[in-house]
A and B are shown apart, each in its own frame.
Chain A
């Protein structure tokens, strides 16, 4: 079993829809949770960063962490074609510099 599991999709939704992307993990030591966005033929870029449990909002994006269930989510409101990308979750434990990545979910927003 992988430390971090992420449904690879692909996921295709119409413009304006609410998108929910999720990851589960098995390592209870994980404290830092991130979402990276990767456009086609580009390197990943950090989108959201949360520490421990709770929610974080940034514009149309909301990251949620539920440590009791070992489950994290990324919500995209009012999705746009420019949100079409691969979204990767990543996690690390306290004091660790290494990240453990999920497989990535390929998302397409249709105009």
Chain B
């Protein structure tokens, strides 16, 4: 069965370190998205991609970057982790037929 996976599921890191969160989907979807979820804010879009080599900034992109070298993967990099980036991160994907997004299980990141 097609799926979307995220790794690691839990990560503790220190302020200033570079961190990369992985997202892999086997749906063969063109569109991929990264969100963060915090109490009181719901899901906020960080970056998104509509295809290979395409990346776009979302509403909370500062301090994050993504790259899309193939259809299946969209890794999210925190350039220099900050305590304000402690959150739960979700990856999602969708195709171009409709805009239903399928979500991964999430990565819980703690920055100390």
Contacts and interface: CB of A to CB of B under 8 A. Distances in A.
Interface range for A: 20 to 34
A42 B90 CA distance: 10
Contacts of B101: 46, 99
| Interface class of chain B by DSSP | strand
A106 B108 CA distance: 19
Contacts of B40: 8, 103
Contacts of B104: 43
Interface in B27-60: 31, 33, 35, 40-45, 48, 50, 58
Scoring B42, B94, B101 by chain A CB atoms within 10 A of each residue's CB, the highest score goes to B42
If over half of A's interface residues share one DSSP class (helix, strand or loop), that class is named, otherwise mixed; here it is loop
Interface stretch (A65-73, A76-84, A90-98): A90-98
A43 B42 contact: no
Interface string A32-46: 101000000111111
B44 to A, nearest CB: 8
Contact of A43 (B44, B99, B105): B105
A6 B92 CA distance: 21
Q: How large is the interface on B (under 10, 10 to 19, 20 to 34, 35 or more residues)?
A: 20 to 34
Contact of B103 (A41, A45, A92, A103): A45
B100 A49 contact: yes
B96 interface: yes
Contacts of A43: 90, 92, 103-106
A88 interface: yes
Nearest to A101: B43
A32 B42 contact: no
A96 to B, nearest CB: 7
A34 B90 CA distance: 18
Interface of B: 31, 33, 35, 40-45, 48, 50, 58, 90, 92, 94, 96, 98-106
Interface of A: 6, 8, 32, 34, 41-46, 49, 88, 92, 96-99, 101-104
